[in-house]
């Protein structure tokens, strides 16, 4: 009851929105999502289906989260490369592709594309596009390896391996559930 959903916001079936969250006018949140405590979804933002946005995340205008995206607690999205308190500002679009994960406390500087199933490590600062299935870590975030569809690191190689399936997926029927 403490969440604020503005009149023209669209919330998909089965989506849970926790206390003190705010979804602005013109925003769209897909079906089966979870928005944690104190999540802010700005005007015009699109959040795909089955996304999980943990506590204290603000998703500002210009950001698009495709389906199955995970955003860890207190991750930050920016939307202006030259912010000032007064004067003109320009929204610079950011896209987080399907199945990508962003660790807690990560900062996503606007204007980047985070590829399908990519993983951004906790506390990382993303200033450049991230390839699909790529693991990036640090400040600034740098490529460190490759992740499997299940999220486990499948390779620490610089070059993309032919097979990104990890040892975890090859055990106990886990592969079929991915």
Q: DSSP letters of 149-177? A: TTSSEEE--SSPPS----TTTTSTTHHHH
Nearest to 95 by CA among 118, 64, 123, 130: 64
The CA-atom distances, in angstroms, between 28 and each of 67, 68, 156 are 12, 15, 37
Looking from the CA of 138 toward its CB, the CA atoms found within 13 Å total 8
- Sign of the alpha-carbon dihedral angle for 122, 46, 51, 115: negative
Report pTM: 0.93
pLDDT at site 163: 81
Q: Which of 45, 111, 42, 113 is nearest to 81 (CA)?
A: 111
What is the residue-level pLDDT of the chain in tens, covering all 178 positions? 899 999 999 999 999 999 999 999 999 999 999 999 999 999 999 999 999 999 999 999 999 999 999 999 999 999 999 999 998 889 999 999 999 999 999 999 999 999 999 999 999 999 999 999 999 999 999 999 999 888 899 889 899 988 887 877 764 333 333 3
Over the stretch 71-110, which tens digit does the pLDDT of each residue have? 999 999 999 999 999 988 899 999 999 999 999 999 999 9
Determine the straight-line distance between the first and last CA of the chain, rounded to whole angstroms: 35
Predicted pLDDT at 104: 98
Q: Pick from 121, 146, 118: which is nearest to 130 by CA?
A: 118
**How far is the C-alpha of 35 from the C-alpha of 122, rounded, in Å?**
19
Can you give the pLDDT at residue 174? 36
pLDDT at position 173: 38
Chain-centroid distance of CA 153 in Å reads: 18
| Residue that has been written with the tokens 């320009």 in this structure | 90
What average pLDDT does the chain have?
Answer: 93
């Amino acid at each position: 009851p403490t969440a604020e959903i503005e009149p023209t916001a669209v919330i998909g079936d089965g989506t849970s929105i926790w206390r003190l969250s705010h979804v602005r006018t013109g925003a769209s949140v897909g079906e089966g999502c979870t928005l944690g405590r104190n999540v802010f979804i700005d005007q015009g933002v699109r959040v795909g289906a089955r996304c999980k946005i943990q506590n204290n995340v603000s998703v500002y205008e210009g950001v698009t989260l495709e389906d199955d995206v995970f955003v860890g607690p207190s991750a930050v999205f920016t939307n202006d490369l030259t912010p000032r308190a007064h004067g003109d500002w320009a929204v610079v679009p950011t896209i987080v592709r399907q199945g990508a994960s962003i660790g807690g406390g990560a900062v996503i500087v606007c204007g980047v594309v985070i590829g399908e199933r990519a993983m951004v490590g906790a506390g990382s600062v993303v200033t450049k596009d991230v390839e699909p299935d790529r693991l990036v870590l640090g400040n600034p975030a740098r490529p460190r390896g490759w992740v499997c569809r299940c999220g486990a690191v499948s390779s620490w190689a610089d070059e993309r391996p032919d097979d990104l399936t990890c040892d975890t997926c090859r055990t106990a029927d886990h592969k079929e559930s991915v």
